[in-house]
Amino acid sequence: MTTMSALDSSNIRHVEFIRLTMPSATYTFCNAAAPITVGGITFSNLGSLLMLSDVQQDLKATSNDLTISLNGIDPANIVIILGNQIKGSGIEVWRGFLDTNNQILTISAVVQFFKRYTGIVTNINLSEDWNGELRSRVATCAISCSSMRAVLNNRIAGTRTNAQAWQQLHASDLSMSRVSAITNQYFDFGAPPTGGGIADPGIGGGGGGFGTPQQFFEQL
């Protein structure tokens, strides 16, 4: 369990930091009033234009989602959002606590900068509104994110049992070479052996089977 010493202060000032990692580029930004550099990484300041939904906090890992909203986007920049592969990109969120100089606070040699969320972008939603004061359109981009735990829960893993796929992983292993020969064949275990071939699929049909399991594997 991480101890956040900054929470013991009577004056708590915190900022949300986000890193969006896409195949083409990596973007870092925060909701501070000025850029902040942490560990050599500079997070651009978006101020109140950056909003995050609540991050669910539990004692054990949960498959919670997160929504990040970027407000006040110039409609001319929408093409940049649509032209990049944002879906599937990695998303990381940190919370940092600031000192009076608007820099990350360090207490007892511990930098008060803690990761809150790790996931991937699952969807983006763009909307536009008319701003009467600015006399122009203003766009909002909502980024929906799914936690890595949910991604792993939905992941399907395994190895195909055909010879081609198996030998891509194990080039010298011929264990699956006979799979294609026995595909869609019936094996009537317990019937008198006949030397191989397709057995009668009927229950208790006798004849045409490989006999005992031992005899079956000997045929392989």
Per-residue pLDDT tens digits for 80-99 = 788 888 888 999 999 999 88
Residues 6+ apart with CB under 8 A from 19: 26, 27, 28, 41, 90, 91, 92
Whole-angstrom Cα distance, residue 19 to residue 117?
11
The terminus-to-terminus CA distance of the chain in angstroms comes to 55
Per-residue pLDDT tens digits for 94-121 = 999 988 888 888 888 888 899 888 888 9
Tokens encoding 202:
């009927």
